[in-house]
Chain A
Amino acid sequence: MKKGSIFVKPRELVVPGTLLVQGPFKNGRGTFREGNRIYSTVVGLVEIRGDLVRVIPLEGPYMPEVGDNVLGKIVDVRFSNWVVDIGAPYEASLRVQDATEERIDIMKTDLRRIFDIGDVIYAKIKAYNEVNQIDLTTKGMPFKGGPLRGGQLVTITPSKVPRVIGKGGSMINMIKRLTNTRIIVGQNGWVWVSGRNGELERLAIEAILKVDRESHTQGLTDRVKEFLLEKLRELKERGVITELPKIDEGKEGGGNDGKT
């Protein structure tokens, strides 16, 4: 560590305006710099890696970044594009040529037959420019970018997405395996959960919301596993499921179903 003072502990819970460090540090997300001092701008957990100081927010809007995979909802169909709500401060746009490999004659095609209002799509952020225009693409996305059929949509705080996915997909894999569901976690905090069994689907959602709510606490993975197993035992007693799923750690599971 270079010279400088650190006024907070790792993973300390801070509020806006808290002095974090002074000296030769770089300020990352959730902070602002004044002179050689760095302060937090959000309620969140401090993270200092090398000389980079960040605060992982516990609440806050989704800020789009090029390359993010997000879930979105079609809110309007225009002449040659769709308007998509991705939960960001700005509406996103999906142009026809970014939606499909086929050549489409927009004069003759009703775009609503491809994506209609209310459809949930899975898209990548292709561009995010200085006038806050967000361009999406669904080309090459899993599930052909949608529309997703069945399942449910839940929202979590975008900054907690990494926690829900877990290291190397550990958390999301566990939830999927134990609840036998398909799950897509968008970087924007929108999560699609689909299971053949309604009760298991609901259980998966409960687990995801638990991670969202308790993201700032320790031992979360174990606790979520305990929670799921307990609920599963209850479901078995009630005859909803016939046997408990096996917990073989480290095996595939496929990670985020939305992984490209």
Chain B
Amino acid sequence: MSDAPVMAGIMRDRILNLLKEGKRIDGRGFEDYRDVEIKTNVIEKAEGSAWVRLGETRVLVGIKVDVGEPFPDLPDRGVMTTNVELVPLASPTFEPGPPDENAIELARIVDRGIRESQAVELEKLVIVPGKLVRVIFIDVHVLDHDGNLIDATGLGAMAALLTARIPKLEYNGETGELVRLDEYEPLPVRHVPLPVTFAKIGGNMVVDPSLDEERVMESRITVTFDETGHVSAVQKGEGGSFKLEEVMYAVDTAMRKSSELREMLLSSVDRGLP
């Protein structure tokens, strides 16, 4: 919003006028996602990976797995971190350098959704309690920005987690030796939380905003549901405001849309619910 380049006034007017007639600039209904395409295991060097196209938005998510120390206050849990890079090739508005506030917010929304639903069974990733655990890095590379990076990233992260295969480890308690076996196992995943994002434009709520829509939106809200009907993250973003009824609409619609997305995701990774 604040860092978007100036938008042509006629485009703004067109988007707003169409919404008044109940239409969107690209012909979608208010609750329609753009076309979604998911490919997994696209990066051989990564333990898990997924390429997601949402309309013209493209993100690539890689999962790398390492071994490290647990957090002192969480001795019985593996470690998971999420990082997003908005690389300059994806948009004229992205600058090289350390993650800016947009990258950080995006990573943290997606991270919260996964973490708070305990989607990854971190307790199964402990090698020596308090000493040695698996460390899961979810790294997101945005490749092309055409709006709604949050949902694209959420889909990509879950697709990569669901298809990741991690090497089995053998730990020798006496010698302290850790041997990496040539056998692989899936990453333990118990839930599939997915974010659903809405833009508020001229008082209308539309799902999965495109970049043009994001440029004219007053505000944004994301609700992350898992398959158990629990919400694991909510985030109102940018300026503007929502009425309570609009929040309720977003929550109920997100519940519905996330289950549609989940069905599509699971069939594309060739898996049922965990």
Direct A–B contact present (CB less than 8 angstroms): no
